[in-house]
Amino acid sequence: MTSQELLDHFKETPVLVVGDLMLDHYLWGDATRISPEAPVPVVAQVRDTYTAGGAANVAMNLAALGAPVELFGWTGRDRAGDILLDVLERNGIVYSSQWRSERIPTIEKTRVMVRQQQLCRIDREDHRDAYAFDSDACLKVLEKKIAAAKAVIVSDYAKGVVTEKLLSRLLEFREAGGCLIAVDPKPKRKLNVKGMDLITPNRDESLQMAGISIDPHDPFPETEVTQGIWEHYAPRHLVVTLGADGMLVCDEGKVAHRIPTVAREVFDVSGAGDTVIATLTLALAAGAAIEEAAHLANRAAGIAIGKLGTATVTPKEILDYEIQH
């Protein structure tokens, strides 16, 4: 099918996103002098901007592509949570207030930006165990929702929402409902993602998943990596993102397709992995073949990293890119 036909199908492809929700706060300013108190720049604040981060950014990418989206994960009953909910509502993302907690704060990342450069980042969060989303009550709601969804994306940012129990139960729900399950893994947590429909590790994550350690300057051992991941996890689809070197689309432990990057100018890679898994999953759930879905995701990621900050991509931007190239 054409890109236009595939993108049109996105409107009829509901997706659930489960994972670590965050508020991305950008503090913009200028620095023209050094503090007399310490050898650090003094930032004169000009403005603040807020957007959804973590799993919420995956949901934002899906919504920007036109898909109906529901989001699952914890936020606090605090100012950061209020701001995040407002961002989600304005973008048409369904999020139930029952997932707001009095006990734990909304995860918030504040980036201090000076002249388009990040000076520092301040993180606000609680202990990882506090965010687990695997209680019987949570899982019961997910089970009902999955019956009407075409796909579930598990977005693990290693903050605690995603657990072994959650992944195991999602696989059980898939057998009953037939939806696609995609995981953006964090290998350092050593969770079992065996048997998933799609996993999308980046270069470093894929090396960890395959149990391979190399020098940063060594060539990427794609054969050993893809075979190692297949032997350990046997995903239906494996797409390894390699930044400037594009993507590898793998089938049963072998590289089936190599897709070069389309990025021309890189402003900010934060959130690029969210764009990839959102576009890939949505395209597969809408009926695309894996190579077709990967090419679409690669174009979307190339557009996203040409923007500053965590960014989303619209169908019009993808179609305009194709016309121009």
DSSP symbols for 221-241 = -HHHHHHHHHHHH--SEEEEE
pLDDT of the chain along its 325 residues, tens only? 788 999 999 999 999 999 999 999 999 999 999 999 999 999 999 999 999 999 999 999 999 999 999 999 999 999 999 999 999 999 999 999 999 999 999 999 999 999 888 999 999 998 888 899 999 999 999 999 998 899 999 999 999 999 999 999 999 998 877 799 999 888 888 888 999 999 999 999 999 999 999 988 889 999 999 999 999 999 999 999 988 788 999 999 899 999 987 755 554 455 578 999 999 999 999 999 999 999 999 989 888 877 766 678 899 998 888 887 7
Q: Which domain holds residue 317?
A: 3-22+62-76+132-324
Q: Is residue 237 part of a domain?
A: yes
Q: Catalytic: 215?
A: no
The alpha helices in 234-264, defined as continuous H runs, are none
Give the pLDDT of residue 89.
97
Q: Is residue 51 part of a domain?
A: no
Is residue 40 exposed (0-12), middle (13-18) or buried (19+ Cβ within 10 Å)?
A: exposed
Give the pLDDT of residue 166.
96
Q: Is residue 242 part of a domain?
A: yes
Q: Is residue 250 part of a domain?
A: yes
Give the pLDDT of residue 268.
46
How many separate domains does the chain show? Answer: 1
Q: Is residue 297 part of a domain?
A: yes
Give the pLDDT of residue 304.
81
Give the pLDDT of residue 51.
94
Is residue 217 exposed (0-12), middle (13-18) or buried (19+ Cβ within 10 Å)?
A: exposed
- CATH (domain of 230): 3.40.1190.20
Q: Is residue 82 part of a domain?
A: no
Q: Is residue 107 part of a domain?
A: no
Give the pLDDT of residue 205.
93
Q: Is residue 97 part of a domain?
A: no
Q: What is the largest CA-CA distance in the chain?
A: 64
Say what the pTM is: 0.92
Which of 20, 156, 197, 274 is flagged as catalytic?
274
